[in-house]
């Protein structure tokens, strides 16, 4: 489910340098659009229609039990925490229109209840008997965007495959793996595996799965946009930048909650590491509110990643001397960028306070870097589930008017472990279900504070 959120499939860095990709990657866009006048449409009584109805009922309820039941029955790869977090952002959805209906495929439009944002969605099932979701996409429609109906032919499929091969060869972080991925989709193409696919969402999903079957890289993904994509290299205009800022303001830079729990334990929940150029002031406000706590808990259970500069900024509040956090090696440029804590952050640091990080299987990319860095530096206790396993930052590349590919172009290299969390995730120090992680971390923090408060006895 990819509307108004940073997702594992495309965790582009939300930075001013990446505003070009912000325009291109519609599924991570958080753009405000005009309210469109559509009438409510009855959901057809097909296998795909039943899944759409079940999703809307569960999602709009914001009830954990209903969401868990939906995921267990229809979409086992989905995350409870991510769905609930996404509901908090959108307020739920109103169904506006059914655009296409087949037994195993349904396309629709919805509107956020919390904003004028309209999105276009698609659900494809694996088969009718199981009614299990094969692919589910949900994209924001940008202001003034015209949704085009696209039916694939052989020429379009070949053009997309050629574009994938070109971009992988030029930029993918491991050239040998890029070659193997190209070989796999070329073999499928030759065998006619894609010949019967005319739906663009299904084609993009099929290609993504085939590429990931070789690379196991969750950042890698082919994406279809029903709205025409801007030209490659097209720079963001002032309106784009204004909408980008407005999106960050409306979501409070993805900072959801900051509070002081009993026993003076600080709690900070945020769901993305947004560009500090735009969101540094939000971090400063949050950390200054918590500047006198005796312990701190960072809740990253719904955090899909973001900008490594923001990872460094927030980490800087946990150290009182320069600390080497992480490196990123760019294969195409053959260049390594080092990330260290900042020499100064406004307000007090919490360098001598116990720190805890909450994780889930939805914790991804930059959120994993933050977790992995602190774990290797022995600066925090990690509580929750093993994270998603994405250590390769991604860049969007336009293939044609409607298709793009997110290509991981670099890899993280931790200065202590000399490796990263790609494909394995970050294992917690204390393993519990994500839903129980906050209670467990609060218990651990309280025990640590009680132990430290006891006078030493001889």
Q: Which pLDDT score, from 0 to 100, does residue 161 have?
A: 98
Edge-first strand order for the sheet with 93-101 is 93-101, 105-112, 118-125, 133-140
Cα 25 off chain centre by: 12
Is the pLDDT higher at 21 or at 139? 139
pLDDT at 11 over 70: no
pLDDT score of 3 more than 60: no
pLDDT digit string (tens) for 437-455?
Answer: 999 999 999 999 999 887 7
| CB distance 392 to 368 below 8 Å | no
CB burial class (10 A; 0-12, 13-18, 19+) of residue 458? exposed
Which residue's entry shows tokens 């109805």? 53
User: pLDDT band at 458, cuts 50/70/90?
Assistant: low
What pLDDT shows up at residue 457? Answer: 56
| pLDDT confidence of residue 89 | 83
% of the chain with per-residue pLDDT over 70: 91
Mean pLDDT of the chain: 89
Residue pLDDT, tens place only, 63-122: 999 999 999 999 998 888 889 888 988 999 999 999 999 999 999 999 999 888 899 999
Q: Could you tell me where the beta strands, DSSP code E, fall in 244-387?
A: 255-261, 265-270, 295-299, 324-330, 335-340, 355-359, 381-384
- Write down the pTM of the prediction: 0.84
**Helix (H), strand (E) at residue 111:** strand 105-112
The confidence score (pLDDT) of residue 274 equals 95
Instruction: List every span in the chain annotated with CATH 3.10.450.280.
Output: 1-145
Q: Determine the pLDDT at residue 456.
A: 63
pLDDT at residue 31, as a whole number: 33
Return the SS3 of 273.
Answer: strand
Q: From 3.40.640.10, 1.10.3720.10, 3.90.226.10, 3.50.50.60, which CATH number describes the 253-390+425-452 domain?
A: 3.90.226.10
Tokens of 407: 């290509």
- The per-residue pLDDT for range 340-376, each reduced to its tens digit, is 999 999 999 999 999 999 999 999 999 999 999 999 9
| H-helix or E-strand spanning residue 452 | helix 437-453
Q: With 80 as the cut, is the pLDDT of residue 17 above it?
A: no
Confirm if 38 and 109 have CB atoms less than 8 A apart: yes
Q: What is the mean pLDDT of residues 154-183?
A: 97
Give residue 449's pLDDT.
96
* Fold of the CATH domain 1-145: Nuclear Transport Factor 2; Chain: A, (3.10.450)
Instruction: Give pLDDT, residue 188.
Output: 97
The mean pLDDT value for 297-308 works out to 95
The pLDDT of residue 130 is 92
Any residues with CB less than 8 A from the CB of 146 and at least 6 apart, and which?
A: 227, 228
Nearest of 264, 271, 444 to residue 370 by alpha carbon: 271
The pLDDT tens digits for 193-240 are 999 999 999 999 999 999 999 999 999 999 999 999 888 777 777 877
> What's residue 257's pLDDT?
95
Indicate where the chain has its CATH 3.90.226.10 domain(s). 253-390+425-452
Which residues share a beta bridge with 324?
340
State the virtual CA torsion across 137, 143, 148, 153 in degrees, nearest 10: -60
């Amino acid at each position: 489910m990819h509307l108004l959120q940073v997702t594992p499939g495309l965790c582009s860095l939300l930075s001013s340098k990446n505003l070009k990709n912000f325009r291109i990657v519609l599924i991570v866009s958080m753009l405000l659009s005009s309210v469109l006048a559509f009438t409510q449409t009855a959901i057809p009584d097909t296998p795909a229609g039943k899944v759409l109805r079940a999703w809307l009922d569960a999602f709009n309820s914001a009830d954990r039990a209903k969401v868990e039941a939906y995921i267990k029955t229809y979409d086992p790869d989905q995350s409870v925490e991510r769905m609930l977090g996404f509901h908090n952002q959108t307020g739920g959805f109103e169904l506006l229109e059914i655009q296409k209906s087949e037994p195993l495929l349904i396309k629709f439009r919805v509107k956020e209840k919390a904003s004028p944002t309209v999105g276009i969605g698609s659900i494809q099932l694996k088969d009718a008997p199981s009614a299990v979701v094969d692919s589910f996409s949900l994209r924001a429609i940008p202001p003034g965007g015209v949704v085009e109906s696209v039916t694939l032919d052989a020429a379009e499929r070949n053009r997309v495959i050629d574009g994938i091969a070109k971009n992988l060869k030029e930029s993918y972080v491991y050239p040998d793996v890029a070659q193997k991925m190209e070989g796999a989709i070329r073999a499928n193409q030759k065998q006619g595996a894609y010949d019967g696919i005319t739906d663009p969402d299904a084609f993009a999903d099929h290609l993504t799965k085939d590429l990931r079957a070789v690379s196991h890289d969750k950042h890698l993904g082919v994406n279809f946009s029903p709205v025409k994509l801007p030209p490659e290299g097209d720079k963001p205009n002032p309106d784009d930048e204004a909408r980008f800022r407005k999106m960050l303001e409306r979501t409070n830079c993805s900072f959801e909650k900051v509070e002081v729990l009993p026993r003076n334990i600080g709690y900070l929940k945020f769901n993305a590491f947004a560009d500090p150029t735009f969101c540094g002031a939000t971090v400063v406000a949050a950390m200054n509110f918590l500047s006198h706590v005796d312990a701190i808990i960072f809740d990253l259970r719904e955090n899909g990643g973001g900008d490594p500069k923001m990872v460094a900024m927030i980490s800087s509040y946990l150290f009182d001397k320069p600390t080497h956090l992480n490196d990123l090696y760019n294969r195409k440029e053959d260049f390594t960028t080092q990330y260290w804590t900042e020499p100064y952050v406004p307000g007090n640091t919490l360098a001598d306070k116990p720190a805890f990080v909450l994780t889930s299987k939805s914790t991804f990319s930059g959120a994993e870097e933050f977790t992995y860095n602190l774990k290797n530096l022995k600066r925090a206790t990690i509580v929750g589930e093993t994270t998603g396993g994405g250590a390769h930052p991604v860049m969007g590349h336009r293939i044609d008017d409607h298709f793009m590919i997110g290509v991981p172009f670099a890899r993280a290299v931790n200065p202590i472990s000399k490796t990263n969390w790609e494909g394995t995730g970050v294992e917690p120090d204390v393993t519990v279900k994500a839903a129980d992680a906050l209670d467990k971390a609060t218990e651990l923090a309280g025990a640590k504070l009680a132990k430290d408060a006891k006078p030493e006895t001889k």
